[in-house]
């Protein structure tokens, strides 16, 4: 029983393994709770559950974007095109509604367009070995350019169904309410978490992020998975775009400028390793909530300037990146 | 031992006259291989003999240029590793090819997890993994993360994955290089069990004792060709090593004379006394690569390191140079107070130089010019702010192009356009320009043509005469014996012998390594 | 691919690019040439350059002047990319540099004086050196992947710039400072002179000292560099500081051009344009051999494209579409896989597969 000797040590390591895998997410969760707690003590009305529910509503589109981004980053890639994709989606929706298309068709067209854009980038990345950074940069330019072709000016959305969804909410016990769009976002998070944790596709995503050559040698469907994550990210960006259109009730080519950065930051703060292979969708949800809380903080405070948001996000990204560097180095 | 003789079974896999060419290099030259069910088949050969290429040709990683592969008597060519796996040919590579960020159970069952309606049944998966692990006697928690285990355990998990696919052919490419003795024993138990279940097992290992313990039949490769297929029971270790290295006994005797001439001329007592120690290592070692080793180098002396692949010969050179950091031991270098080297930079500052065995990955800058490649070592020492003056550059480059006879004689060509032998000479020039006291050469003549080889050998002799201390490592024993004044023999990551190179024949060295009769007293040490 | 030495653009190609890189610049130069031809067809007077008040005027002069900031950033980016790195923070660094300089000028008692402008510029560049040191520290000492390490400053940098400006659009009235963008020297625009000067100086430093060779060695083969004793840490640190300095200079020119700094928009997406210029110029994002001349062509191509679109009557906003097209085309032309598909050559790659290309062989 030679293996018993190392097993003694291994068992020790083994006991700590599950917490360590969840450590970054737990960290983000603690951070979020801590920030909310501090806010609750410092500002009146901050601890009100409605503040939290509004946080979800205000960031519904970003949550969906972060979900798509999580898939991509888990494989070790990156998607810079999501912000432009959101803008394009709002414009397609606004323009087609203006033309009087039925709502269902509009939604279908938007989702299809976003998914196609994502798929095209995935194909470039996988089959032509173009780096994700560059391929999605091209996608970013393309989507932004298409926006201007559709309309340079902002197009308002006056569709009744859209307004109804935008302002619709579920009433919760205690007189609180949760907006429909927030519910959509949470459903997406749930589906994504299920797919990543419990389907072959999801596990292959993690395997790709762990080691692509190994995944190939293990005979996993690398091509489908790699193109798939970009398609999913495109789909999520389009969906995020629809939610953003609902939020602003307009389509505009200058919507969501730089939003890809927020999505990436949320994913990183949510504990996902930018090199791939490690992370959870729930973490990204928490990451978005942390970003949202920073903004809520600033709006409650009144004396803090808005730029502290960016600086805080930068510092948080740094802390998580360095922490993960230390964690991976130790293993 | 061999059931094959009772009922000669049909080979599961038969490769016939398979050839593969990479550019101008013929990696496999009409190689044939038959794998019989219920047999452990060892694939033997030194570095570059073609073992890995052969395996990759069989498993669909490389496409073959000519020849034929039959599986169950049907001609087959796998397009991808996945296709080979599907046909029941599983491979475990030396570098663990699993994903460290998933659990042990996931790694074992990735791609064929138990599912219901698309949902992975995690509990069922963990149970199945636990069963397979238990069957193989591997004590690991299937829900733990793979990356949290040592490489040896990961390797066992990789084997468990391969076995679990109901493989009819199991290829193990150096699976034991990171295992300790007990883990090897456990692995062998597993292999014996699979053999009884009629699995054909291909076993690649550079540990001779292990091969002789477990294998039934072996195919020996050298330079991309098959040089023999033998039943293990009918072969001695000595014969095997001779086949791998490529000299018959008589030829070896003839070369012995040449070697002795050098040795006798050099090794005459007084000469040794006059030499000054330039570097001495005491108890230098690193976990998993070399056990604590003593070695002293003298000015004007060539120390030859003999040992098979995996014996620790490369590891020793890397530790001396600080390319890998040593865990144990002290290094004292003349004129330096540092006890251990933490980086090559430190070593170079103390006048050490090291030519790696892996020219392509660790030596050559393919896109840079020959001149840049040559001057990089010196330039790195000077730092970027002090460029080598153009006139000096030109002189140095011209001098060494001529001295080492580098062709084509155009220093502005990109390095990649040179042949292996000329690239090697450029790398030698890179170090000679830095005027080192100690030159560590790891396989400087591997894979280069005979002309360049002789030139490099002559250069080593000349350098030592001028007072340089040279460590010469080579898989070719006759070359080591011909050049060195002192011989160090390594086996299984430790030094097993060290003595002046007097009256030593290639045969003697082989006997020291294999520990078979006729050898000089094994483990004899001549401490400096 | 045709050899430019024998093709029509051969002479310019060789003069600009030097011998080894001539073929890599063929497509970018061809594209640049094509764009210029399109412009001439649309506006026959496109090439006209006239002298007015002792200054050169004309579309070509505008292109060089407007392309100056991207060119500056691209020069620094080229060196960073050559070491297998990338610097996403240059846009934010440009904003910080602009902010520091403008705020210094505004707060100074002699806000119109030439001395004030010089001190302001020096201070801004000193801040950039600090920012570059920070990036280099994260990459070379902590060992964080460059794309992630520089993301930190990319995210936080604009916040810092706003902190400096107090969130206001700071407007300055200082002729010396404004001259950075709109001034003329020897009939030529100062901005273009600065960019071309930095280009020439970098080219000289990189090729006359050993910096270029050591940068390339680190980018081509990090392990072989380590074994050859190259001090990679110093090299990597140097290039990030240099990239930040270039970005800062670009930021100053942009701020001087508008006499103001808007921390939110100054230098927005300039990192993407710069990376694009580098990639178009034939320097691989995988590191190794680099071509500053290529980046120059790339930057000019982007500037010309920006100019061409309104010139031929397409709305300026469609710029992005063309940029996307250029990125995809250039990347496909440079991708070995795409070339193999295009040329339908099913041959095995020459030479035994290296450790890095082995993974491709598996694919």
pLDDT tens across C224-274, in order?
999 998 998 899 999 999 999 999 999 999 999 888 888 888 888 898 889
Chains that contact C by 3+ CB pairs under 8 Å?
A, B
* Chain B environment of C360 (Cβ under 8 Å): none
Contact between C129 and C96 under an 8 Å Cβ cutoff? The reply is no
Tokens 């691919």 belong to: C1
> What local confidence, expressed as pLDDT, does residue A329 receive?
64
Q: In the predicted model, is pLDDT for residue B334 greater than 90?
A: no
Give the percent of chain A with pLDDT over 90. Answer: 46
End-to-end CA distance of chain B: 46
- Asked whether the beta carbons of residue A145 and residue C319 sit closer than 8 angstroms, the reply is yes
Partner residue opposite A274 with nearest CB, options C148, C154, C275: C148
Q: What is the DSSP string of C190-210?
A: HHHHHHHHHHHHHHHHHHHSS
Please write the tens of the pLDDT for every residue from B236-288.
877 887 787 765 444 444 444 444 454 555 554 445 556 678 888 888 888 87
Q: Say whether B362 and C353 touch across the interface (CB within 8 A).
A: no
3-state helix, strand, coil in chain A (%, to 5): 75, 5, 20
Distances (CA, A) of B226 to B13, B50, B235, C15: 16, 9, 16, 54
Contact list, A130 vs chain C (CB under 8 Å): 331-332, 335
Give the distance from CA B15 to its chain's centroid: 25
β-bridge pairing B39-44 and B217-222: parallel
| Mean per-residue pLDDT of chain B | 82
The answer as to whether A296 is a domain residue is no
- With an 8 Å Cβ cutoff, the interface of chain B facing chain C consists of 21-25, 27, 61-63, 81, 321, 323, 343-345, 347-349, 354, 356, 360-368, 372, 376-377, 379-388, 414, 430
Among A12, A218, A272, A330, the strongest candidate for a mutation testing the B interface, having the largest count of B CBs within 10 A, is A218
- Of B56-60, B337-341, B428-432, C50-54, the poorest mean pLDDT is in B337-341
Pick among C205, C211, C224, C351 to test the B interface (most B CBs inside 10 A)? C224
Instruction: Note whether A64 and A188 are within 8 A (CB).
Output: yes
Q: Which of A1, A4, A5, A6 to mutate to test the interface with B (most CBs of B within 10 A)?
A: A6
Say yes or no for a CB contact (<8 Å) between B384 and C209: yes
- Which among C20, C238, C354 has CB closest to B360? C354
Structural domains of chain B ordered from first start: 3-245 (3.40.50.300), 247-351+437-528 (3.40.50.300), 361-435 (no CATH)
* CA pair distance B490, B316, nearest whole angstrom: 9
Give percent of chain B above pLDDT 70.
87
Is the pLDDT at A331 greater than 60? The verdict is no
Residue A299 lies in a domain: no
3-state secondary structure of C159: helix
Q: What is the pLDDT of residues B6-31, one digit of tens each?
A: 556 788 899 999 998 876 667 888 99
The SS3 of residue B360 is: helix
Q: Is pLDDT above 50 for B471?
A: yes
Record: contact C323-A145, CB cut-off 8 A: yes
Q: Do the chains contact at C350 and B22, CB–CB below 8 Å?
A: yes
Q: Find the DSSP H helices in B267-343.
A: 270-274, 313-321
pLDDT confidence of residue B255: 41
Say yes or no to pLDDT of C128 above 90: yes
pLDDT tens figures, A248-267: 989 998 888 889 989 999 99
User: Which helix H or strand E contains B28, and what residues bound it?
Assistant: strand B25-35
Pair B488, B524: CB distance under 8 Å: no
pLDDT > 50? residue B526: no
Q: Any chain A CB within 8 A of the CB of C320?
A: yes
**Contacts with C227 from chain B: Cβ below 8 Å:** 321, 323, 344, 354, 356, 362-363
A313 CB neighbours in chain C (<8 A) are 155-156, 159
Is residue A318 assigned to a domain?
Answer: no
Q: What dotted CATH number matches C64-314?
A: 1.10.3470
Q: How far is C271 from chain A (nearest CA, A)?
A: 11
- Comparing alpha-carbon positions, the chain B residue that sits nearest to C213 is B372
Q: How far is C77 from chain A (nearest CA, A)?
A: 15
State how many domains chain A has. Answer: 1
pLDDT bin (cut points 50, 70, 90) of residue C23 is: low
Q: Where are the domains of chain C?
A: 64-314
pLDDT band at B178 (very low <50, low <70, confident <90, very high): low
Residue of B60, B380, B435 to mutate, interface with C, max C Cβ within 10 Å: B380
Q: Between chains, do A322 and C148 touch, taking CB under 8 Å as contact?
A: no
The subunits that touch chain A, with at least 3 C-beta pairs less than 8 Å apart, are B, C
Q: Which of A3, A11, A203 sits opposite B102 (nearest CB)?
A: A203
pLDDT tens-place string over residues C139-190: 998 888 898 889 889 889 989 998 998 888 888 888 888 888 777 787 778 8
Helix (H) or strand (E) holding A156: strand A155-156
- A231 occurs within a structural domain: yes
Q: Do C317 and A216 touch (CB under 8 A)?
A: no
Query: Is C37 in CB contact (< 8 Å) with chain A?
Result: no
With tokens 């780096």, the residue in question is A131
Task: Provide the domain limits for residue A53.
Answer: 47-256
CA distance to partner chain B, nearest, from residue C223 (Å): 6
In angstroms, what separates the C-alpha of B281 from chain A's closest C-alpha? 30
Is the minimum CB–CB distance between A154 and chain B shorter than 8 Å?
Answer: no
- Touching partners of B (3+ C-beta pairs < 8 Å): A, C
Q: What is the pLDDT of residues A172-194, one digit of tens each?
A: 888 888 888 999 999 999 999 99
Nearest to A128 among C144, C145, C338 (CB): C338
Nearest beta carbon to residue C351 from set B23, B365, B368: B23
Spacing of C-alpha B363 from chain mean position: 17
Which backbone phi and psi does B41 adopt, to 5 degrees? -110, 115
Residue A198 in tokens? 């419990």
3-class SS at C9? coil
Contact C321 A142 (CB under 8 A): yes
* DSSP line for B115-132: EETTEE-HHHHHHHHHHH
Please report, for chain A, how many H helices and E strands are present, in that order: 14, 4
């Amino acid at each position: 029983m030679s293996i018993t000797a190392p097993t003694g040590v291994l068992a020790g390591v083994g006991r700590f393994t599950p917490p360590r895998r969840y450590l970054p997410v737990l960290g983000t969760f603690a951070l979020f709770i801590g920030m909310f707690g501090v806010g609750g003590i410092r500002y009146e009305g901050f601890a009100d559950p409605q503040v939290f529910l509004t946080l979800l509503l205000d960031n519904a589109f970003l949550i969906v974007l972060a979900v798509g981004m999580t898939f991509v980053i888990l494989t070790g890639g990156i998607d810079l095109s999501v912000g432009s994709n959101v803008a394009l989606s709002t414009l397609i929706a606004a323009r087609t509604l203006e033309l009087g298309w039925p709502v269902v068709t509009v939604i279908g067209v938007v989702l299809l367009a976003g998914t196609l854009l994502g798929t095209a980038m995935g194909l470039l990345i996988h089959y032509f070995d173009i780096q994700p950074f560059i391929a999605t940069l091209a996608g970013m330019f393309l989507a932004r350019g298409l926006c201007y072709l559709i309309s340079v000016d902002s197009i308002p959305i006056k569709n009744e169904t859209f307004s109804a969804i935008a302002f619709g909410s579920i009433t919760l016990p205690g007189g609180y309410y949760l907006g429909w769009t927030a519910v959509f976002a949470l459903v997406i998070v749930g589906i994504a978490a299920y797919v990543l944790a419990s389907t072959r596709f999801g596990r292959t995503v993690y395997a790709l992020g762990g080691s692509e050559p190994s995944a190939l040698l293990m005979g996993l469907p690398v091509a489908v998975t790699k193109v798939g994550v970009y398609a999913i990210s495109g789909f999520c960006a389009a969906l995020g775009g629809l939610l953003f259109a609902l939020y602003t009730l307009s389509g505009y080519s200058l919507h969501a400028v730089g939003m890809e950065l927020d999505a990436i930051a949320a994913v990183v703060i949510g504990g996902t390793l930018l090199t791939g292979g490690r992370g959870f969708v729930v973490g990204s949800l928490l990451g978005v909530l942390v970003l949202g809380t920073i903004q809520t903080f600033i709006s409650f405070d009144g004396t803090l300037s808005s730029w502290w948001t960016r600086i805080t996000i930068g510092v948080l990204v740094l802390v998580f990146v360095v922490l993960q560097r230390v964690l991976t180095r130790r293993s | 031992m061999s059931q094959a003789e009772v009922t000669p079974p049909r080979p599961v896999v038969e490769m016939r006259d398979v050839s593969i060419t990479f550019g101008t290099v013929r990696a496999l030259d009409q190689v044939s291989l038959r794998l019989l069910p219920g047999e452990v088949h060892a694939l033997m050969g030194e570095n570059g003999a073609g073992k890995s290429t052969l395996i990759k040709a069989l498993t669909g990683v490389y496409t073959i240029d000519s020849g034929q592969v039959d599986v169950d008597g049907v001609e087959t060519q796998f397009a991808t590793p996945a296709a080979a796996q599907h046909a029941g040919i599983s491979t475990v590579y030396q570098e663990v090819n699993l994903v460290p960020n998933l659990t042990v159970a996931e790694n074992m069952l990735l791609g064929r997890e138990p599912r219901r309606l698309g949902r992975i049944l995690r509990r069922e998966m963990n149970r199945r993994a636990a069963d397979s692990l238990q069957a193989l006697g591997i004590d690991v928690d299937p829900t733990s993360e793979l990356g949290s285990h040592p490489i040896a355990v990961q390797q066992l998990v990789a084997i468990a994955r391969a076995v679990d696919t109901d493989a009819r052919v199991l290829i193990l490419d150096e699976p034991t290089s990171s295992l300790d003795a007990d883990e090897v024993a456990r692995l062998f138990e597993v292999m014996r069990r699979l053999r009884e279940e009629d699995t054909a097992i291909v076993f690649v290992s550079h540990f001779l004792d292990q091969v002789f313990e477990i294998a039934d039949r072996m195919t020996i490769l050298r330079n991309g060709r098959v040089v023999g297929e033998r039943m293990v029971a009918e072969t001695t270790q000595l014969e095997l090593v001779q086949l791998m290295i490529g000299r018959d006994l008589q030829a070896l005797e003839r070369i012995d004379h040449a070697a002795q001439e050098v040795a006798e001329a050099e090794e005459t007592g007084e000469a040794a006394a006059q030499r000054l120690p330039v570097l001495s290592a005491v108890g230098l070692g690193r976990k998993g690569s070399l056990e604590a080793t003593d070695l002293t180098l003298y000015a004007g002396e060539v120390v030859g390191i003999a040992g098979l692949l995996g014996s620790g010969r490369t590891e020793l050179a890397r530790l001396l140079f600080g390319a890998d950091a040593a865990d144990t031991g002290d290094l004292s270098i003349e004129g330096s107070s540092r006890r251990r080297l933490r980086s090559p930079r430190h070593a170079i500052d103390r006048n050490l130089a090291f030519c790696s065995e892996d020219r392509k990955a660790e030596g050559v800058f393919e896109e840079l010019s020959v001149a840049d490649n040559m001057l990089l070592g010196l330039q790195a020492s000077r730092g970027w702010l002090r460029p080598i003056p153009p006139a000096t550059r030109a002189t140095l480059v011209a001098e060494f192009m001529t001295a080492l006879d580098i062709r084509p004689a155009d220093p502005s060509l990109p390095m990649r356009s040179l042949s292996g032998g000329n690239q090697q000479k450029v790398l030698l020039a890179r170090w000679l320009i830095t005027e080192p006291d100690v030159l560590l050469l790891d396989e400087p003549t591997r894979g280069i043509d005979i002309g360049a080889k002789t030139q490099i050998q002559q250069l080593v002799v000349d350098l030592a005469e001028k007072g340089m201390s040279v460590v010469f490592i080579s898989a070719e024993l006759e070359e080591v014996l011909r050049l060195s004044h002192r011989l160090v023999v390594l086996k299984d990551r430790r030094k097993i012998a060290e003595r002046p190179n007097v009256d030593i024949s290639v045969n003697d060295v082989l006997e020291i390594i294999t520990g078979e009769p006729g050898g000089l007293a094994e483990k004899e040490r001549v401490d400096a | 691919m045709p050899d430019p030495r024998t093709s029509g653009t051969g002479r310019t190609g060789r003069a600009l690019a030097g011998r080894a890189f001539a073929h890599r610049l063929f497509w970018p130069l061809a594209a640049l040439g094509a764009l210029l031809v399109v412009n001439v067809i649309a506006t026959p007077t496109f090439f006209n350059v006239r002298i007015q008040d002792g200054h050169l005027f004309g579309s070509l002069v505008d292109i060089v002047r407007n392309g100056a900031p991207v060119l500056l950033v691209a020069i620094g980016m080229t060196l960073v990319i050559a070491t297998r790195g990338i610097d996403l923070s240059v846009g934010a660094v440009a904003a910080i540099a602009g902010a520091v300089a403008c705020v210094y000028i505004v707060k100074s008692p002699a806000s119109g004086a030439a001395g004030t402008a010089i001190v302001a510029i020096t201070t801004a560049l000193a801040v950039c050196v600090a920012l570059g040191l920070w990036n280099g520290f994260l990459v070379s000492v902590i060992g964080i992947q460059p794309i992630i390490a520089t993301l930190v400053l990319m995210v936080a940098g604009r916040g810092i710039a706003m902190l400096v400006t107090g969130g206001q659009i700071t407007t300055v009235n200082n002729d010396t400072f404004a001259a950075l963008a709109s001034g003329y020297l020897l009939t030529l625009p100062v901005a273009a002179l600065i960019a071309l000067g930095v280009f020439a100086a970098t080219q000289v430093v990189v090729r006359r000292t050993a910096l270029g060779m050591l940068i390339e060695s680190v980018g081509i083969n990090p392990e072989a560099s380590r074994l050859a004793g190259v001090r990679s840490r110093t090299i990597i640190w140097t290039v990030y500081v240099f990239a930040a300095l270039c970005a800062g200079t670009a930021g100053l020119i942009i701020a001087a051009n508008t006499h103001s700094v808007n921390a939110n928009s100054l230098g927005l997406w300039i990192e993407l344009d710069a990376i694009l210029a580098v990639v178009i110029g034939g320097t691989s994002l995988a590191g190794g051999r680099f071509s500053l001349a290529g980046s120059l062509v790339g930057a000019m191509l982007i500037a010309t494209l920006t100019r061409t679109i309104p010139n031929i009557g397409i709305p300026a906003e469609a710029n992005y579409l063309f940029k996307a097209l250029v990125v995809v085309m250039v990347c496909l032309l440079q991708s070995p896989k795409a070339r193999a598909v295009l040329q339908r050559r099913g041959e095995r790659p020459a030479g035994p597969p290296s450790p890095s290309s082995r993974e491709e062989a598996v694919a």
